[in-house]
Amino acid sequence: MTRSRPLPLALLALAGFALAFGIDATLAMRGEPVFVPPPSLAVGLVLIAALLIALAWPVRRAAKGEKRIDPFYATRVVVLAKASALAAALLLGGAGGILIYLLSRAVVPLGSTLTAAGTLVAAVILLIAALVAEHFCSLPPDDDETEEAAAAAP
């Protein structure tokens, strides 16, 4: 599996931003309450980030040759890390869209703005943790390949 690339993550963040901003603007135009993420979402995202790093740590140790690990476990962790990176990018954009919408209002609701900012920060933490976990699950290059590349270089 390839590592997460910046372009799909940026596109997901942009899509989340546009969708969240559009939904909040539409709800406000209809006179309905706007969507604001609950504070528990930010806490949950940070807990998921910590759990992801804790799950990837044994895989990192195995990749460095310190101990053996079940390859299916490593596969599950790297798939979870990839999915977390994609979801975090989408949530990052969504929280950004909500935050920008709330800040663009004539009267800025402080509690909702802080909650949206907390979700934005938690999504960034989850995205970083997911990318680090993906890095933990990658194997170092083989010595044969590096020796061949060094021998082929003039």
Q: According to the model, what pLDDT value does residue 101 have? A: 95
Residue 117: CB atoms within 10 Å = 17
pLDDT tens profile 100-143:
999 998 888 899 999 999 999 999 999 999 999 999 887 766 65
Question: Mean of the per-residue pLDDT values for the chain?
Answer: 90
Rounded Cα distance between 137 and 1, Å, is: 10
Q: According to the model, what pLDDT value does residue 147 have? A: 54
pLDDT tens profile 31-88:
999 999 999 999 999 999 999 999 999 998 887 777 888 889 989 999 999 999 999 9
Rounded Cα distance between 95 and 79, Å, is: 24
Tokens of 37: 């993420």
Share of the chain above pLDDT 90, in %: 71
Q: According to the model, what pLDDT value does residue 138 have? A: 79
CB neighbour list of residue 116: distance below 8 Å, 6 or more residues apart? 36, 37, 95, 98, 99, 102
Rounded Cα distance between 124 and 5, Å, is: 16
pTM: 0.86
For 93-107, give one letter per residue: b (16+ CB within 10 A) or e. bbbbbbbebbeeeee
Q: According to the model, what pLDDT value does residue 82 have? A: 95
